[in-house]
């Protein structure tokens, strides 16, 4: 589910956005992957180990740039690829209603 597709144009989420997991969900770690149950729609989602780490970070509101910086410190990935992949997964999570996004213009 969270393998970003090349060429997708991201809208709505930027490095300056603040994101947080919704409260209306349950999640757990299962062999290094996150399993998330949306209480709103009863659907289960899974995230690979990097997605699981992102999910852990966004349990409290955090700027996307801070998430990127944490991932760059912990994984061997170049900055541009990290940012592209991070925006893609966050966009997917937003589309599924699993995160709340606040942009600087919203404040």
CATH number at residue 49: 3.40.366.30
Q: What is the pLDDT of residue 104?
A: 86
Q: Answer yes or no: are the C-beta atoms of 45 and 98 closer than 8 Å.
A: yes
Identify the band that residue 11 occupies on the pLDDT scale cut at 50, 70 and 90: low
pLDDT at 101 over 60: yes
Domain that holds residue 27: 18-100
Tens digit of each residue's pLDDT (9 = 90 or more) over 17-61: 999 999 999 999 999 999 999 999 999 999 999 999 999 999 999
pTM value is 0.85
Does residue 106 form part of some domain? no
Count of alpha carbons within 13 angstroms of residue 47, beta-carbon side: 21
Count of domains for the chain:
1
Asked if residue 105 belongs to a domain, the reply is no
């Amino acid at each position: 589910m969270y393998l970003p597709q090349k060429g997708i144009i991201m809208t709505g989420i930027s490095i300056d956005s603040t994101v947080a997991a919704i409260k209306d969900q349950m999640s757990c770690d299962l062999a290094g992957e996150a399993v998330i149950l949306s209480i709103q729609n009863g659907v289960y989602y899974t995230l690979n180990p990097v997605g699981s780490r992102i999910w852990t970070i966004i349990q409290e509101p955090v700027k996307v740039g801070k998430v990127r910086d944490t991932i760059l410190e912990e994984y061997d990935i170049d900055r541009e690829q990290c940012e592209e992949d991070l925006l893609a997964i966050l966009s997917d999570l937003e589309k599924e209603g699993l995160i709340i996004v606040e942009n600087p213009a919203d404040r």
